[in-house]
Chain A
């Protein structure tokens, strides 16, 4: 994976120089905040290194902490098999929202990504796959024009290359700062999936923490198989909005992965550790003639 990361870093450095007019070559990706972190669920203190070695899963209670897109890709893909698509597609500010440019710039610096979605072609246990990951740390993984376009292009690439498609979602929904254009990305991505579906393509959607709003109400819910990752919040409306609307407390376990499973919205819940092997099995079952196994 290191070659991929180096390449990524080089691309990002040139990207940053061009766009941000700043040299940030000395900034490494993902500086840990501290040596110790506290688990959100059980509140126990964990050595950051222990958490990293355990794929971001709390060793005490099994809570799955959020992981970024690059870490997800490196956990899923065969070594050095990833080729990124559209790494240099960047957002504009169609509503001329004050602060939006600054917020995005900050997200770019902190995440090392050009936007909240990374897509490309890679291999999972030897099976060539179109894979995309939303990054919740980049403006809450929200979908604006660029995320919508990148998701759409990834789906189209999977169609053209007759590859299976795997998308990991983690998003608060449509990106408010781009207004109605963000909303339209829900149609655009779902339309691309309509074509992919008609063509017989296999789409596996993995809903991770959190998957809500316009992303939940578009491509994330449209998998041939929908998988929820353990510890994920999944739903359309956010719990705070629902609580305000109905003026009553929400039932325990509302909008958890378990809730979605028991209400028939996902096929299964998976622990992060089992993700790669389970997805590889599903990909193998759905491999088309064209796919090189």
Chain B
């Protein structure tokens, strides 16, 4: 699908809308008995990630969420959803726990990217992300992903490996922010709008590329009224859990490998 520059930029603006709900709202709405579990058992507890267990459709489910925060105070507390190595390691620990106890995993991706800082580098940001990619691909339990507003770069990818990947209608998923992309490739960050249009970051474009499977409709938009979108997400989650839980786990993992094996475009001479 080819959207024009204005339509894509409108999506970027909606994805970043100050009234757009964060992961906490989804958890509150879909998982009222959610219990948070903390820490990576190695270094600390990264508050850019909220992880834990809840009841969903009469059974336990593991939730892994990136939380951006809504108020200024919360944004700072959650580091704008930008994870440190201990966050990625906490996510993996909780996901492995879900595998052990045969719980499905639901990941809410919402991050501008992994945090670029001194501590993050000292504690092995690259290794933490890489290790998640290698381990999550072979977890023997269903994994369902939704990109809430923004899936940025390796920081999103580290909890973005799953059997079923969805995006909300007004979200974006990209290798880099349009501003970053413009400043690197056009040497001009103000060309973000132009960059966004070419980058293929909308759910429609990404579905066409088979990077995602499903687009969750938002009706009037999550920033105006999240009810419809959250209801659609709930239905999607129910359907996917029911679909995935009857697949033999060996086949489930094989299908997951195949899904990502196919990604990329090239020419063989």
Chain A residues proximal to chain B, CB less than 8 Å: 15, 18-19, 86, 88-92, 94-97, 144-146, 148-149, 152, 174, 176-188, 190-195, 197-198, 212-214, 216-222, 234-238, 241-242, 245-246, 250-251, 254-255, 259, 263-265
Contacts and interface: CB of A to CB of B under 8 A. Distances in A.
Nearest to B158: A217
A149 B262 CA distance: 9
Contacts of A187: 133, 137, 157, 160-161, 260, 263
Residue from the set B117, B173, B263 with the largest chain A CB neighbour count within 10 Å: B263
Contacts of B206: 180
| Consensus secondary structure, chain A interface | helix
B264 interface: yes
Contacts of A198: 138
A229 B120 CA distance: 22
B124 A263 contact: yes
Given A88-B268, A183-B154, A235 B121 contact: yes
B127 interface: yes
Interface stretch (B46-54, B59-67, B193-201, B221-229): B193-201
Contact of A90 (B173, B184, B185, B269): B269
B44 interface: no
Contacts of A213: 154
Nearest to B262: A188
B118 interface: yes
Interface of B: 114-118, 120-127, 129-131, 133-135, 137-138, 153-154, 157-158, 160-161, 173-176, 181, 184-185, 198-201, 206, 209, 211, 257, 260-261, 263-269
Contact of A236 (B125, B185, B269): B125
Contact of A179 (B117, B158, B200): B200
For the complex of A and B, 6 pairs with smallest distance between CB atoms: A237-B116, A145-B264, A190-B133, A216-B126, A88-B269, A236-B125
A250 B117 CA distance: 10
Contacts of B135: 194
Given A180-B175, A222-B134, A245-B117, A95 B267 contact: no
A20 to B, nearest CB: 12
Given A89-B267, A146-B266, A236 B157 contact: no
A190 B157 CA distance: 12
Contacts of A180: 173-175, 199-201, 206, 209, 211
B266 A145 contact: yes
Nearest to B125: A236
B117 A188 contact: no
B48 to A, nearest CB: 14
Contacts of B267: 89-92
Contact of A242 (B116, B123, B200, B265): B116
Contact of B124 (A90, A145, A174, A265): A265
A144 to B, nearest CB: 8
B2 to A, nearest CB: 11
